[in-house]
Amino acid sequence: MIPFLLALAPLVPLQQAATHAHALHVARLLDVESGKILTNATVLVQGERIIAVNPKEIPAGTEVLELGDRTLLPGLIDCHTHLTSDLLGEWVTREVHETAADEALRGAMYARITLLAGFTTVRDVGSGGFADVALMKAIDAGWIPGPRMFPAGHAIGITGGHADTTGYAPGILERGPAQGIADGVDQVIEAVRQQVKHGAKVIKTCATAGVLSFEGPVGAQQYSDEELVALVTEAHRHGLKVAAHAHGTEGIKAAVRAGVDSIEHGSMLDDEAIALMKQHGTFLVPTDYLTERMDMNALPAPIRKKAEYVLPLAQASHAKAIAAGVKIAFGTDAAVYPHGENAHEFETLVHRGMKPLDAIRSATLNACELLGVSDRGSISAGKLADLVAVPGNPLDDVRVLQHVEFVMKGGVVVKGP
């Protein structure tokens, strides 16, 4: 067997990858749609697409990659990342001494780390100065390695709320709809249009107060019902889905009634909120691993107090939602803890009551449904050749997903033989 090289393989220009053919042979292949493990499987890849699974013959000139005693899965999808951010150093005051260029360069580093961890697609839910859009464009152009991205641009929220920057003297970092800070129906609509104009592929709003900010009670509803309806209506008019940061119960309900596509975090769910989410088909993106992993010592005292209050509530809410059958899409809030640890989310989802297969589906089939894409998320003919391989069988031990040993994105091997 060809030895594995765990460093990033040299970038292959997209035009060269377009005609290259691979045959991947592996001991096990997980069919996420049927839930079955196929043994002694071969996947034929031409250019950026899967051509066949277990073809009768391999065309002459095809490069055969022997993946050995591993399990092949679709490339993983994280629906809640912040690639341009982290909680290192003076992160609290970073906004006043950095630019969008700094964010984008930091994002380039973390995009590579995320791709090597097996995540070939991410929904990136908020950064400054459209650094996430620039990062997406650089990745798509082949300038830097990274996952396929659905960037949000600026998160949209109220003045002084979770999407805003508070605590500085008047005149410092005062922002408006172009930067996502909007009050009233007219400004909310303008804020959505500004994000769309500059390249957002999803709209992120803050329906409630948050943890990593200095505004008031962590669960308080911030946008009115009318503002939320206006935001969702405008986003959907442009064909974009809406992700709503929401910790508190009433804000969650208001966002679901307004028609958001996903609730991010969902820390304080009651029976009515769960029933509403099921009725509307709203996804929950739990970001559960952070409830165990967040470095409390990196948090200023007021923020730490909020975190210590809300995180245990979140764990209980996620378990309740999973037991009730709320649709779950995989998301991590990577940046709140180190990028590259994204796959630890699978283990915590299992701890909250999901079966390993369902946890994996949350990062494949379910994530595709939330993103509104059908060209990835399973290993079948016609899909993008976004593939990962792990040691062992993830249906027996989901923790093996923390040890991705092979990554292919669009037919190009970025980690492996």
The least confident of 8-12, 156-160, 185-189, 304-308 is: 8-12
Answer yes or no: is 382 within a domain: yes
The least confident of 36-50, 193-207, 299-313 is: 299-313
Does 328 or 87 have the greater pLDDT score? Answer: 328
Pair (51, 133) in one structural domain: no
Q: How far is CA 225 from the centre of its chain?
A: 26
> Can 204 be counted among the known catalytic residues?
yes
Mean pLDDT of 101-117: 97
Instruction: Note the pLDDT of residue 342.
Output: 98
Pair (144, 186) in one structural domain: yes
Pair (50, 193) in one structural domain: no
Strands 63-74 and 76-81: unpaired
Answer yes or no: is 90 within a domain: yes
* CB contact burial 12-34 (16+ within 10 A = b; e otherwise): beeeebeebbbbbbbbbbbbbee
Answer yes or no: is 9 within a domain: no
Cβ atoms within 10 A of the Cβ of 387, count?
A: 30
Instruction: Note the pLDDT of residue 401.
Output: 98
Q: Report whether 66 contacts 50 (CB < 8 A).
A: no
Mean pLDDT of 123-139: 96
Quickly state the pLDDT bin for 192 (edges 50, 70, 90): very high
User: For position 62, which CATH number holds?
Assistant: 2.30.40.10
Answer yes or no: is 154 within a domain: yes
CA distance 232 to 204: 10
Pair (56, 89) in one structural domain: no
| Percent of the chain whose pLDDT exceeds 90 | 81
Task: Look at the chain and report how many structural domains it folds into.
Answer: 2
pLDDT over 80 at 77, yes or no: yes
Quickly state the pLDDT bin for 302 (edges 50, 70, 90): confident
Placement of tokens 């029976």 in the chain: 271
Pair (49, 149) in one structural domain: no
Instruction: Note the pLDDT of residue 14.
Output: 43
Instruction: Note the pLDDT of residue 19.
Output: 64
Mean pLDDT of 158-178: 88
Two tokens at 117?
């961890």
Answer yes or no: is 383 within a domain: yes
Instruction: Note the pLDDT of residue 17.
Output: 52
The amino acid that residue 19 corresponds to is T
Closest CA to 246 of 232, 238, 235: 232
Quickly state the pLDDT bin for 417 (edges 50, 70, 90): low
Two tokens at 174?
């005062």
Quickly state the pLDDT bin for 2 (edges 50, 70, 90): very low
Pair (39, 118) in one structural domain: no
Instruction: Note the pLDDT of residue 16.
Output: 46
User: For position 298, which CATH number holds?
Assistant: 3.20.20.140
Instruction: Note the pLDDT of residue 6.
Output: 36
Q: Please identify which of the residues 86, 124, 333, 386 carries the catalytic annotation.
A: 333
Answer yes or no: is 122 within a domain: yes
Pair (138, 277) in one structural domain: yes
Instruction: Note the pLDDT of residue 130.
Output: 97
Answer yes or no: is 4 within a domain: no
- For 14-72, the pLDDT digits (tens) are 444 556 899 999 999 999 999 999 999 999 999 999 999 999 999 988 999 999 999 99
Answer yes or no: is 5 within a domain: no
Mean pLDDT of 324-329: 98
Pair (228, 127) in one structural domain: yes
Quickly state the pLDDT bin for 234 (edges 50, 70, 90): very high
Mean pLDDT of 328-357: 97
Pair (387, 303) in one structural domain: no
Mean pLDDT of 62-88: 96
pLDDT over 70 at 272, yes or no: yes
Three state DSSP letters for the chain: CCCCECCCCCCCCHHHHCCCEEEEEEEEEEECCCCEEEEEEEEEEECCEEEEECCCCCCCCCEEEEEEEEEEEECEEEEEECCCCCCCCCHHHHHHCCCHHHHHHHHHHHHHHHHHCCEEEEEECCCCCCHHHHHHHHHHCCCCCCCEEEECCCCEECCCCCCCCCCCCCCCCCCCHHHCECCHHHHHHHHHHHHHHCCCCCEEEECECCCCCCCCCCCCECCCHHHHHHHHHHHHHCCCCEEEEECCHHHHHHHHHHCCCEEEECCCCCHHHHHHHHHHCCEEECCCCHHHHCCHHHCCHHHHHHHHHHHHHHHHHHHHHHHHCCCECCCCCECCCCCCCCCHHHHHHHHCCCCHHHHHHHCCHHHHHHHCCCCCCCCCCCCECCEEEEECCCCCCHHHHHCCCEEEECCEEEEEC
Pair (234, 285) in one structural domain: yes
Pair (57, 139) in one structural domain: no
> Can 261 be counted among the known catalytic residues?
no
Tell me the residue range of the domain where 404 lies.
14-74+378-415
Instruction: Note the pLDDT of residue 91.
Output: 80
| Percent of the chain whose pLDDT exceeds 70 | 95
pLDDT over 70 at 395, yes or no: yes
- For 253-264, the pLDDT digits (tens) are 999 999 999 999
Q: Please identify which of the residues 201, 204, 253, 306 carries the catalytic annotation.
A: 204
Pair (68, 92) in one structural domain: no
Instruction: Note the pLDDT of residue 210.
Output: 82
